[in-house]
Structure 1
Amino acid sequence: MPATHLIDRGVIRVSGEDARDFLQNIVTNDMDAVTPDQAGYGALLTPQGKIICDFLVVAVPEGEGGGFLLDTPLLQTADLMKRLKLYKLRARVALDDLTEATAVIASCDGAALPEEAGLVYVDPRLPGLGQRAMTDRDGAAEIATASADAWHASRIALGVPEGGRDFTYGDAFPHEALLDQLGGVSFKKGCYIGQEVVSRMQHRGTARTRVVPIVFVDGIAAETGSDATAGGKALGRIGSGANGRALALLRLDRVADALAAGEPLLGGGLAFSLAKPDFIRFPFPGEAGFGAAA
């Protein structure tokens, strides 16, 4: 059971009698579905619909204090705290940054973590991501002995993007970062910040840019940040990679044009092809229905 300490993750606690309603009114996911037995995945957006921060949401059992813990990207934690405080107003909510004392660990192979790992929860995005846990930082090294590279290799193989590596916070829409494919957006709940933009993209099918998994023909992944091109025209950017695979933020309509013209897709000068995972429901270039909705 290899597990790793994700040192690039922070933890925020949202507690108090209004905690659930407070989050329900501002985040993209449906908080009514988040229970001690079922974590959630969502994001806080700008009013223009771009991702400020995405996170996993874990409900704490009432016997352990109640409220919710947000498993967040470390570099976004301070900004997320600032935004949450801004939206708090008169809500009966307490906000605490627990990052200094709390570690997030994750299974690298989808296997279960031991009960002594702390507050254990299943990653709600994909079953293959396995379990995660929040535990005392001082004891994390005893449980998590694998390198972070092992976890990222697993994530990349599954096709799951990560902010700061595969898309840019403050610049990407939820559809571009696949939140709509990974259960990170509810299209049935009420209003939340940025909801009008996200709903419009969903109903009009205007998400032309997406993070998608790719496979390099020669088995060597291009460096993160390399340009993706075809026929000398820009397609997008290569994100995180491992074992000859990567994630790339691409204009899929331009990819379709390149494929139709017989032009090779290149990342950092290395040829690649798209690799569609089972969880992605929108059509890829070359599939029936592509262009009707991205």
Structure 2
Amino acid sequence: MKPSGITLPRIVVSSPYICQSCQFLSIRGRRTSIPKSARFASTSAPTRNPPSPPSAGYASLPSRRLVSVSGPDSTHFLQGVITANISPGTPYKSGFYAAFLNAQSRILNDVIIYPDGKGADSWLIEVDAKEVERFAKHIKRFKLRAKFDVRVIPEGEQSVWSLWGAGMGLDGDNLKEGFVGYVDTRAPDMGTRLILPAGKAPEVDVQQCDESVYRVRRYLMGVAEGQDELIRESALPQESNIDYMGGIDYRKGCYVGQELTIRTHHTGVVRKRILPVMLYGMDQEMPKALVYDPDVDLGVEGIARETNIARFNQRGRSAGKWLTGVGNIGLGLCRLETMTDVHVQGEAGGYKEGNEFKLEWVPEGGDTQNVKIKAFVPSWHLNRK
């Protein structure tokens, strides 16, 4: 089966909002505004950046691991500790997105939970690979007398894949019979997650990519993943877009961390959100569209996580914090009223068209570096308010 190609029009927008098509523009093959003398940019020397994502492809995700939770009390236990609704007795054909919170409503782990096909109370939980052992210990610590087993799936047993493009083994809103996976509804066109035996790849006739290409796709869409981006015991679910990505059910009963989460929902005040950002040189014009250029290297690997985003040539409080990136794009936790024209209840509304922002950092053993940074609000944020 060969999925049909996806035609993505070249659209440029003039506001902080971005559409799903223009966020995949590549500037290969056309003139750019990057001057040859730009301090941090090079279009001739090879870089370590991944290529632009193809319109259809698939990638193995070694950054994600699986934990098996199975037994008669597993569903009831999970219902009390995750933000999504996993009502006992409800049949699930595919996976769903959720988060584990601590008592202060801070994110412990973002997860995707899959029915593994072995029974109504048998689940696979996908979690950040760096956190998998701590995550399993956390569940075991709080299970008390509940009757279920917890097992970390060895890397040599099962693996996680992401597929994107037309088709890809889907049947309407559900996976086809026999698949263990998840129609990735966190953002439009995110594709599909599949759980396969280790050593086996999806049987699709499209380009296989490195996980770094999948990461570029996520950044362009503004989808954070894992505790390098959703900082453990620090990130709040709404600021991390867990609500917009369908991971919070506000009608379910009590769960750990519900109090502040539901209060934030009812007050309607979320002042900061994780947004896709684009970096550009200090002597360059402000970009009008979110564009990934694999040939531009701005040294993002040297920017420490949570580096402050400051106003350019203006005083004022921090406009946000840098989270992660590659090449000339990344993710930032951005103060909406400061960096975008989104209106937040109770805020002064300090953003003005043309305002610019910067990152300043000192790489190890080097001199102070500066780049400008612009935030973009994905169109799917507006559709899910």
Normalising by structure 2, report the TM-score: 0.65
> Compared with structure 1, are the counterparts of its residues 120 and 199 closer, same or farther at alpha carbon in structure 2 (3 Å cutoff)?
closer
Question: What letter is aligned with 1:123?
Answer: D
| Residue 154, structure 1, aligned to residue 217, structure 2 | yes
Q: Which residue of structure 2 lines up, in the alignment, with residue 207 of structure 1?
A: 270
Shift, 1:154, TM fit: 1.2
Work out the CA distance in 2 between the residues paired with 1:109 and 1:221. Answer: 28
More displaced, 4-13 or 241-250?
241-250
Deviation at residue 261 of structure 1 after TM alignment: 8.9
Matched, 1:275 2:330: no
| Separation (CA, whole Å) in 2 of partners of 1:32 and 1:110 | 31
2:251 aligned with 1:188: yes
Select which of 169, 193, 218 maps to 1:132: 193
Q: Tell me how far 1:142 sits from its aligned partner.
A: 8.8
- Give the deviation of 1:108 after TM superposition: 4.8
- 1:145-195 deviations in Å (ceiling 9; x for gaps): 411111111111222112334331111110111101101111100000010
Aligned twin of 2:336 = 252
- In the alignment, structure 1 residue 19 sits paired with structure 2 residue 103: no
Contact 2:114/2:181 (8 A) holds in 1: no
Q: Distance in 1 between matches of 2:273 and 2:250?
A: 19
CA contact (8 A) 1:26 1:193 kept: yes
Tell me the equivalent position of 2:322.
238
1:273 deviates by: 3.1
- Highest CA radius of gyration, 1 or 2? 2
Pairwise CA RMSD: 3.2
Unaligned runs of 5+ in 2: 1-55, 171-175, 280-285, 341-348, 361-369
Percent pairwise identity? 24
Compared CA separation, residues 122 and 140, structure 1 to 2 (3 A)? same
Q: Does 1:96 align with 2:151?
A: yes
Native 8 Å contact 2:67 2:151 kept in 1: yes
Partner of 1:175: 238
1:121 aligns to what?
182
Give the match for residue 163 of structure 1. 226
SS in 2 for 1:139: coil
TM-score, normalization by structure 1: 0.83
Tell me: higher relative CO, structure 1 or 2? Use CA pairs within 8 A at least 6 residues apart: 2
Greater fraction helix? 1
Query: Of 49, 64, 83, which residue of structure 2 is paired with 1:28?
Result: 83
3-state SS of paired residue (2:193):
strand
Q: Name 2:261's counterpart in structure 1.
A: 198
Residues 39-48 or 256-265, more deviating = 256-265
- Aligned in 2, Cα 1:139/1:38: closer, same or farther, shift over 3 Å? closer
Gaps of 5+ in 1: 284-293
CA distance in 1, matches of 2:83, 2:331: 23
